[in-house]
């Protein structure tokens, strides 16, 4: 009897050790990636420092003068624009599917959204390059330019030659890519709204719009926020699709029709042929900054969610 108990206890111990080491592995991988990125970027850190690197718009492989400002800017601007376009659409989709959609159509829309998330990014890139960018360059962007360019201040965003290979096209493609992430998570959290809450709102005479606005959405706030963070992470790290349609130019763009470059695209483009130590190290440094940025973003999201959960 005693031996059986002992054996069970040992098994328990063994099990917890196994699961612990599985969890620990994740931590170890993350830390080792951080360490190796840091070690590889030491040469660049020595040469440019942190603020010097982040604020410098130079990217000149010939003279070995590197800075992260242009790519950082490109990464952030495309991500923010993509979020600005994707969030409203994704929320609309989620609201429609959970609250308004006829039951028959629900699985159809739901599956379609999930399929959209399953498309590999290279396919978005090819579709973007061969189909979407020409459409943008020939029809959409000239139209936008005609309408908006005469307006002062805003007009600045629509200057330049609309080629379809630019920030606007990239942001739209990115927004299509991240929409399913947001909408499927938000849809799940919407579905978690207690029926009693909704029923009582309807009971006191609220309209459907009021129920959605005042009950469902506030209840799902953390879910919405979390989904946006996840989507942002994906947009920040997106490489292949962006490489095809952004034009890969190391410059601070002031117009939506300008080409730009992001960190991941720069890495993908230049890593294989980076032949000097400082060049390679600068690319590692860019990767480190991106990883740090993602990490920071996640940390902010986590603390926000934790505070939310407390209150």
Q: Which is nearer to another protein, 93 or 259 (CB)?
A: 259
Beta bridge partners of 247: 260
CB of 161 to another protein, least distance (A): 7
- Contact between 243 and 125 under an 8 Å Cβ cutoff? The reply is yes
Q: Which is nearer to another protein, 66 or 181 (CB)?
A: 66
CB of 127 to another protein, least distance (A): 13
Tokens of 61: 């492989």
CB of 166 to another protein, least distance (A): 8
Residue with tokens 């130019």: 249
- What residues make contact with another protein under the rule CB under 8 A? 58-63, 129-130, 133-134, 137, 161, 163-165, 243-244, 247-250, 259, 261, 265, 268-275, 280
Q: Which is nearer to another protein, 206 or 280 (CB)?
A: 280
Q: State the CB neighbour count (10 A cutoff) for residue 206.
A: 16
Q: Which is nearer to another protein, 41 or 184 (CB)?
A: 41
Give the span between the Cα atoms of 290 and 264, in whole angstroms: 8
Q: State the CB neighbour count (10 A cutoff) for residue 251.
A: 15
Q: Which is nearer to another protein, 121 or 248 (CB)?
A: 248
CB of 55 to another protein, least distance (A): 17
CB of 135 to another protein, least distance (A): 11
Q: Which is nearer to another protein, 137 or 226 (CB)?
A: 137
Nearest to 236 by CA among 58, 72, 33: 72
Give the span between the Cα atoms of 25 and 113, in whole angstroms: 33
73-97 CB burial, b ≥16 within 10 A, e <16: bbbebbbebbbebbbeebbebbbeb
- Contact between 289 and 232 under an 8 Å Cβ cutoff? The reply is no
CB of 164 to another protein, least distance (A): 8
């Amino acid at each position: 009897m005693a031996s059986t108990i002992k054996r069970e206890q040992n098994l328990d111990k063994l099990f917890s050790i196994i699961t612990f080491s599985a969890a620990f592995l994740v931590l170890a991988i993350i830390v080792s990636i951080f360490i190796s990125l840091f070690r590889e970027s030491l040469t660049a850190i020595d040469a440019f420092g942190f603020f010097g690197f982040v604020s410098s718009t130079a990217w000149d492989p010939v003279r070995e003068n590197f800075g992260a400002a242009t790519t950082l800017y490109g990464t952030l601007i495309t991500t923010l624009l993509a979020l600005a376009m994707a969030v409203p659409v994704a929320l609309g989709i989620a609201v429609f599917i959970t609250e308004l959609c006829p039951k028959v159509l629900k699985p159809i829309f739901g599956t379609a959204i999930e399929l959209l998330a399953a498309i590999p990014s290279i396919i978005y890139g090819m579709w973007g390059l061969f189909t979407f960018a020409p459409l943008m360059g020939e029809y959409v962007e000239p139209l936008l330019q005609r309408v908006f360019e005469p307006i002062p201040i805003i007009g600045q965003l629509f200057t330049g030659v609309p080629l379809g290979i630019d920030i606007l096209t990239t942001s739209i493609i990115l927004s299509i890519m991240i929409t399913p992430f947001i909408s499927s998570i938000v849809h799940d959290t919407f579905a978690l709204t207690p029926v009693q809450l909704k029923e009582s709102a309807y009971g006191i005479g609220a309209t459907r719009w009021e129920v959605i606005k005042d009950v469902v959405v506030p209840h799902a706030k953390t879910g919405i926020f979390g989904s946006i963070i996840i989507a942002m992470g994906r947009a920040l790290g997106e490489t292949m699709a962006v490489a095809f349609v952004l034009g890969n130019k190391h410059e601070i763009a002031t117009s939506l029709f300008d080409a730009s470059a992001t960190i991941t695209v720069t890495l993908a483009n230049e890593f294989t042929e980076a032949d000097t130590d400082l060049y390679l190290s600068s690319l590692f440094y860019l990767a480190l900054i991106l990883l740090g940025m993602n990490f920071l973003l996640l940390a902010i999201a986590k603390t926000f969610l934790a505070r939310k959960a407390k209150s």
